[in-house]
A and B are shown apart, each in its own frame.
Chain A
Amino acid sequence: MPKDTGIGASTRRREDVRFLKGKGEYTDDISARDLAHAVFARSTMAHGRIVSIDTSAAEAMPGVLAVFTGEDFVEVGGNPAGWLINSRDGTPMKEPKRPVLAHGKVRHVGDAYAAVIAETKQQAMDAVEAIEAEIEELPAIIDVKAALSGDTFVHDEIETNQCFDWGWIEDNRAATDAAIKGAAHVTTLELVNNRLVPNAMEPRSSIGAYKESGDEYTLHTTSQNPHLTRLLISAFVMGIPENKLTVIAPDVGGGFGSKIYHYGEEALVLAAAKRTGRTVKWTADRTEAFLTDAHGRDHVTKIELATDADGKFLAFRTETYANVGAYLSNFATATPTFLHGTLMAGNYTVPNVYVNVKAVFTNTAPVDAYRGAGRPEATYSLERVIDKCARELGMDPIELRRKNFVKPDMYPYASAAGLEYDSGNYDALMDQMLKVCDRDGFEARRKDSEARGMLRGFGVNAYIEACGIAPSNLVGQLGSRVGLYDAATVRVNATGNLSVMVGAHSHGQGHETVFPQVVGEMLGIDPQSIDIVHGDTSKIPFGMGTYGSRSLAVCGSAVVRATEKIINKAKKIAAHMMEASDSDIEFKDGQFTVAGTDKSVSFGEVALKAYIPHNFPLEDIEPGLEETAFYDPANFTYPSGAYCCEVEVDPETGKVRVDRFAAVDDFGNVMNPMIVTGQVHGGLGQGIGQALLEGCKYDEDGQLLSASYMDYTMPRADDLPFFTVDHSQGTACTHNPLGVKGCGEAGAIGSPPTIVNAVIDALQSGGKNVTHIDMPLTPHAVWTAMTNA
């Protein structure tokens, strides 16, 4: 019988009640009696020198309270990169300042160079139009390869467009080169991992308030990690002391990475609140979201796979140009390096891996982590070149992968790309995938398709990712400027209900449901009596936030540790209540019992006693029942999976239809199977969107052509098949207390190569010698490839 509560139960998401009723409270829903509005003047050209900005006419407009330009922020700091990368020659990466408002130059279409604060949004919009900016247009740097040879620089002060030229692992380079040179077979593939716009349903929004009496600031903002935002504003940008700044991220309508980062608009509304003495709100319109949310992916890669004559992998070597856009977003330097290069051994026992990544500044929006963040790029390169290799060697793509899988008895396994995988069973995942996808029925389905004039293809993929980001020790060695632990406080109130303050932020992940399942199970109490508090730096101890599929593995572990501390203290109180020794107290199903007796007290009675400490032995037990834990993991977690799909391609039009999709994932132990399934569905939707539909396009002048839903195609329900999702083959993570690995990004990581492999298989089955098509596989792209084959 499946459980209906506690760990492993598909408890319905309690937060959905308010979301489905339209009762969620998002940043833009929040108002104030003294509310004023900010609107930004944004560059319409990709690259230009600011000659002059005349704000006098705008300042004289009705309702205008203040006008800001880059000059107002010359004295404050820049928005920093959170990860230091050193180039192969040992020199540190180039870190040009990212100002609150553009100063000196505008560097991408949408770059804000001024802001108007006015009584109404309409007045602010009108005043923005009255700002006279003379901006001398400069040639736009758009192509990542051309950017490295020209003499026009996005940031003149660094005299190059290259942020870094990184080698991973540099000491493995010679051995990798030698292995490729001596190999019986080398497969080479050049590919583009297409640039994506995150498209959270809720656009970014920020509200700044300032209280003169205590010199205190409050920022409501659309953030996945309010403490990190506070830290960046306090320590780097504005210098507001952390204890004078509260950051609150209320309900947030999707992030996918784009709301990890601190953006200049957040600093602006705080500065504006102080100058005007008003509460100042800014909410992005959809065009601003397209132009200024940190974009995702955008890698140009050449990958080589060397094998022996039997298909045993000898080496992977890649050269990647990673577009970081016009400014370094907070994790822009980590995403193409340590979240990408370290995964380039995949699920395989390949002995040699060498990854070269050149990060390049261009006159485009900043690019940073987007659902999967580096791992989709790694998986796509690996699983595409492996598929091409199988075709060249005349081997079954599944057999080729199996031949090279890390086997279950090899853990812990040190990969050639520098990670230590703790657990997994890739063959078991593949077996289960073949079972649930009805591989045996494929040939009949292919015949049926062909009878209708369609081409059917089968595509497969195996992935591994590093989640639960991550151990501070390790990331510190790798250049991270922050620790990546998380924190939780469990507060047991006198009447027995609980508030659990967590550092992870929930914006679709279901924390409000899952964390109480865990705590309720541990304490033997009804999860409904447990509430989660998140997203408010004044209410929770600390937190590094939600990204990298880390909430349960890292913050959930902190919750477990804090709950264990609660149990330990409660045992002492119970021992005192029952006049027994601490060591004789047993705790089960919410009851404290003196071992071998029928004496017991309930958790609720202990909670009450903790706050009414009559006769407490105060030298041994403090009153109250509240505990905090910080948890820093020993390693990343390593979710893995085997995915397959069947597509039908119309040879007349190139239109691809995904007919079947099976995702078999190893997420370790699963706390709420329904939520995990939902996370996989969402990830698959985004991955299939990337593979077939989504493409962010700049023209050669740096104009964003795909800046609305007329031109940027989001996946819709009828673009997606019925998904078969299976997580029965979990192998527990060995180093966190729940044995969990993280499931938020897997679908977006595993699905793009699965789709492309299937389309290539379909075209090959129709006699079209097409070996690669760059995503998105629009009808036009597929038709063109077929026609040119």
Chain B
Amino acid sequence: MNLSDQKRIGADRETVFNALLDPEVLKACVPGCEEMTGSPDEGFEATVTQKVGPVKATFRGVVQLSDINAPESMTITGEGKGGAAGFAKGGAKVRLEADGAATILHYEVDAKVGGKLAQLGSRVIDGFAKKTADQFFTNFQDTVGRPEPVADPAADVTTEGAPDAGEKKKGWLRRLVG
């Protein structure tokens, strides 16, 4: 299955790009992620527990980053084995577009599942994939930076300008990405 969408992140491109390379950020953002280790050069190893329709499984897999073109684009590919539940693999092409002080993150996801996941979950897999991608980028927004309120797009609001949650989030981001 394929899906593409975009998300507005309340941080500049470099920040967003670096966050995507950070295992701690990824761990915080990948839904159900229990472990994420490694580096952008060597790839990451991840453990993710997810429930797809009637199938619940812990996936162990690797994530590779390629076509890295900082701070504009990269390709993330991953493959996870879920034992009796089967496997999931896929890739996301990510492109970052500066939009004032914020960044628009465009993504195209191509995902495949096999084994029990396909047999029992095919009916729900598209919805699941969309929900998971949404959840990831929502988490990513929460971690890296909320965009300015949509209701007032003209307002010159930066992440610093959101003193309540923004400060706190930025603080957390700083801790994570240095």
Name A residues whose Cβ lies closer than 8 Å to a Cβ of B. Answer: 44-45, 109, 125, 128-129, 287, 290-291, 699, 701, 703-705, 707-708, 710-711
Given the interface pairs A44-B87, A125-B84, A128-B84, the reply to whether A707 lies near B119 with Cβ below 8 Å is yes
Contacts of A287 in B (CB 8 A): 116, 119-120
Do A705 and B115 have beta carbons less than 8 Å apart? Answer: no
Contacts of B114 in A (CB 8 A): 44-45, 109, 701, 703
Do B120 and A44 have beta carbons less than 8 Å apart? Answer: no
Output the nearest chain A residue to B53 by Cβ-Cβ distance. A710
Contacts of B90 in A (CB 8 A): none
Q: Interface on chain A toward B: helix, strand, loop, or mixed SS?
A: loop
User: What would 27 A/B residue contacts be, using CB atoms closer than 8 Å?
Assistant: A44-B87, A45-B87, A45-B114, A45-B115, A109-B115, A109-B119, A128-B84, A129-B84, A287-B116, A287-B120, A290-B119, A699-B118, A699-B122, A701-B112, A701-B114, A703-B113, A703-B114, A703-B118, A703-B119, A704-B119, A705-B118, A707-B119, A707-B120, A708-B119, A710-B120, A711-B122, A711-B123
Output the nearest chain A residue to B79 by Cβ-Cβ distance. A137
Residue B83 lies at the interface, judged by CB distance under 8 Å to chain A: yes
**Complex CA distance for A710 and B86, rounded to whole angstroms:** 18
Do B84 and A703 have beta carbons less than 8 Å apart? Answer: no
A111 to chain B, nearest CB (A): 12
Given the interface pairs A45-B114, A109-B114, the reply to whether A703 lies near B87 with Cβ below 8 Å is no
Contacts of A707 in B (CB 8 A): 118-120
Output the nearest chain A residue to B85 by Cβ-Cβ distance. A44
**5 nearest interchain CB pairs?**
A44-B115, A707-B119, A703-B118, A705-B122, A129-B83
Output the nearest chain A residue to B89 by Cβ-Cβ distance. A137
A320 to chain B, nearest CB (A): 28
Contacts of A45 in B (CB 8 A): 87, 114-115
Contacts of A290 in B (CB 8 A): 119
Contacts of B86 in A (CB 8 A): 44
**Complex CA distance for A195 and B88, rounded to whole angstroms:** 26
B101 to chain A, nearest CB (A): 43
Q: Which of B112, B116, B118, B119 has the most CB of A within 10 A?
A: B119
Do A291 and B83 have beta carbons less than 8 Å apart? Answer: no
Query: Per-position contact with A for B106-135: 1 when CB-CB < 8 Å, else 0?
Result: 000000111110111011000000000000
**Complex CA distance for A705 and B119, rounded to whole angstroms:** 5
Do A710 and B118 have beta carbons less than 8 Å apart? Answer: no
A178 to chain B, nearest CB (A): 49
Contacts of B119 in A (CB 8 A): 109, 287, 290-291, 703-705, 707-708
Output the nearest chain B residue to A46 by Cβ-Cβ distance. B114
A123 to chain B, nearest CB (A): 14
Query: Per-position contact with A for B70-108: 1 when CB-CB < 8 Å, else 0?
Result: 000000000000011011000000000000000000000
B13 to chain A, nearest CB (A): 36
Range class of the B interface residue count: 10 to 19
Q: Knowing that A45-B115, A701-B114, A707-B119 are A-B contacts, what are 19 other residue pairs whose CB atoms are under 8 Å apart, sorted by A's residue number? A: A44-B86, A44-B114, A45-B87, A45-B114, A109-B114, A129-B83, A287-B116, A287-B120, A699-B122, A703-B113, A703-B114, A703-B122, A704-B119, A705-B122, A707-B120, A708-B119, A708-B120, A711-B122, A711-B123
B124 to chain A, nearest CB (A): 9
Contacts of B122 in A (CB 8 A): 699, 703, 705, 711
Contacts of A125 in B (CB 8 A): 84
**Complex CA distance for A69 and B46, rounded to whole angstroms:** 29
Name B residues whose Cβ lies closer than 8 Å to a Cβ of A. Answer: 83-84, 86-87, 112-116, 118-120, 122-123
Do A704 and B84 have beta carbons less than 8 Å apart? Answer: no
**Complex CA distance for A290 and B120, rounded to whole angstroms:** 11
Q: Tally inter-chain residue pairs, CB-CB below 8 A.
A: 45
Contacts of A705 in B (CB 8 A): 118-119, 122
**Complex CA distance for A44 and B115, rounded to whole angstroms:** 4
Q: Which of A44, A129, A705, A710 has the most CB of B within 10 A?
A: A44
**Complex CA distance for A443 and B169, rounded to whole angstroms:** 74
A197 to chain B, nearest CB (A): 12
**Complex CA distance for A692 and B87, rounded to whole angstroms:** 32
**Complex CA distance for A705 and B122, rounded to whole angstroms:** 6
Contacts of B123 in A (CB 8 A): 710-711
**Complex CA distance for A705 and B83, rounded to whole angstroms:** 18
Output the nearest chain B residue to A287 by Cβ-Cβ distance. B119
**Complex CA distance for A125 and B116, rounded to whole angstroms:** 14
B12 to chain A, nearest CB (A): 40
Do A704 and B116 have beta carbons less than 8 Å apart? Answer: no
Contacts of B84 in A (CB 8 A): 125, 128-129
**Complex CA distance for A44 and B55, rounded to whole angstroms:** 14
Given the interface pairs A44-B86, A129-B84, the reply to whether A704 lies near B120 with Cβ below 8 Å is no
Contacts of A291 in B (CB 8 A): 119
**Complex CA distance for A287 and B116, rounded to whole angstroms:** 8
Given the interface pairs A710-B123, A711-B123, the reply to whether A704 lies near B118 with Cβ below 8 Å is yes
Output the nearest chain B residue to A129 by Cβ-Cβ distance. B83
Output the nearest chain B residue to A697 by Cβ-Cβ distance. B122
Contacts of A109 in B (CB 8 A): 114-115, 118-119
**Complex CA distance for A436 and B13, rounded to whole angstroms:** 78
Output the nearest chain B residue to A128 by Cβ-Cβ distance. B84
Output the nearest chain A residue to B1 by Cβ-Cβ distance. A699
Contacts of A711 in B (CB 8 A): 122-123
**Complex CA distance for A287 and B119, rounded to whole angstroms:** 8
B178 to chain A, nearest CB (A): 37
**Complex CA distance for A389 and B80, rounded to whole angstroms:** 54
Output the nearest chain A residue to B114 by Cβ-Cβ distance. A44
**Complex CA distance for A701 and B110, rounded to whole angstroms:** 14
A542 to chain B, nearest CB (A): 40
**Complex CA distance for A351 and B123, rounded to whole angstroms:** 49
**Complex CA distance for A275 and B118, rounded to whole angstroms:** 35
**Complex CA distance for A701 and B90, rounded to whole angstroms:** 13
Contacts of A699 in B (CB 8 A): 118, 122
**Complex CA distance for A128 and B84, rounded to whole angstroms:** 8
**Complex CA distance for A129 and B116, rounded to whole angstroms:** 13
**Complex CA distance for A704 and B113, rounded to whole angstroms:** 11
Contacts of B116 in A (CB 8 A): 44, 287
Output the nearest chain B residue to A41 by Cβ-Cβ distance. B84
**Complex CA distance for A524 and B83, rounded to whole angstroms:** 63
Contacts of A704 in B (CB 8 A): 118-119
B141 to chain A, nearest CB (A): 33
Output the nearest chain A residue to B120 by Cβ-Cβ distance. A708
B16 to chain A, nearest CB (A): 33
**Complex CA distance for A424 and B133, rounded to whole angstroms:** 65
**Complex CA distance for A125 and B85, rounded to whole angstroms:** 12
**Complex CA distance for A699 and B114, rounded to whole angstroms:** 10
A715 to chain B, nearest CB (A): 20
Contacts of B83 in A (CB 8 A): 129
**Complex CA distance for A45 and B86, rounded to whole angstroms:** 9
Contacts of A129 in B (CB 8 A): 83-84
**Complex CA distance for A763 and B87, rounded to whole angstroms:** 44
Output the nearest chain B residue to A705 by Cβ-Cβ distance. B122
**Complex CA distance for A160 and B87, rounded to whole angstroms:** 29
**Complex CA distance for A699 and B86, rounded to whole angstroms:** 15
A702 to chain B, nearest CB (A): 9
Q: Which of B113, B116, B118 has the most CB of A within 10 A?
A: B118
**Complex CA distance for A44 and B118, rounded to whole angstroms:** 9
A346 to chain B, nearest CB (A): 38
Output the nearest chain A residue to B118 by Cβ-Cβ distance. A703
